[in-house]
Amino acid sequence: MKTVDTREVAAWLDTTLQAARFKDYCPNGLQVEGRPQIGHIITGVTASEALLRAAIERGADAVLVHHGWFWKNEDPRVRGPRRTRLALALAHELNLFAYHLPLDAHPQWGNNAQLAQVLGLAPQYLADGAPAACGPDNLIWLGTAPGLATLGALAQRVRERLQREPLVVGEPDRPLGRVAWCTGAAQGMLADAVEAGVDAYITGEASEPTVHLARETGVGFIGAGHHATERYGVQALGDALARQFGIRVEFVDIDNPV
């Protein structure tokens, strides 16, 4: 089996995702150092115990995720589930790579880009080729939903393509023009989408104020699932890694209803 130096993989990921330009809620990049050579990587949404055990069972050298460890404002003590996860990684010399906002934002392999492909959304692009965006770090993408005339039709597309029941706020027959989307827990950015003049906003989760803001502004809101909207970026990044280095990369989906 072909292997590549762990530092080379880390450098390629950091550079490709421009990790240094983001002020994030967690460290991006190689979070836990394991074996010096990598030939098999497991990708997944979150570095949960279940994903680590799946990687160990498959004999992987590394895990690549969107949601890693060491989040700001977390209790830093190594105890309970944190101890179990870290002990598994260290005992089996697993490298843990995690990219949060850098993976959301990447114009080709990012969560927003990949969700657009899954849902058949058409991103709007600027003159320089960058996606039209708004909100913090330009994380909200703007575009249209070709062939879909109403909020209800968009909700049905989400239901079919993501295989889950979305939370929908707004009249199903609301005409659909401009659409905004940001995967994961981006319900707090609804106001930015409203300011951008969209008819509907898709994200993963909702909070109590989200419903009121959507109703009072008339902007349709779709909460399509945090996990469900963020399954695709890490898969695309893993495929790119496999092509770049000629190593084995395998996606494991640990189901999460949120």
Is 100 annotated as a binding-site member?
no
Is 212 annotated as a binding-site member?
no
Is 239 annotated as a binding-site member?
no
Is 61 annotated as a binding-site member?
no
Is 250 annotated as a binding-site member?
no
Per residue, what are the HEC states of the chain? CCCEEHHHHHHHHHHHCCHHHCCCCCCCEEEECCCCEECEEEEEEECCHHHHHHHHHCCCCEEEEEECCCCCCCCCCCCCHHHHHHHHHHHCCCEEEECCHHHHHCCCCCHHHHHHHHHCCEECECCCCCECEECHHHCEEEEECCCCCEHHHHHHHHHHHHCCCCEEECCCCCECCEEEECCCCCHHHHHHHHHCCCCEEEECCCCHHHHHHHHHHCCEEEECCHHHHCCHHHHHHHHHHHHHHCCEEEECCCCCCC
Instruction: List binding-site positions.
Output: 66-67, 104, 226, 230
**Residue ranges at the known binding site for a divalent metal cation:** 66-67, 104, 226, 230
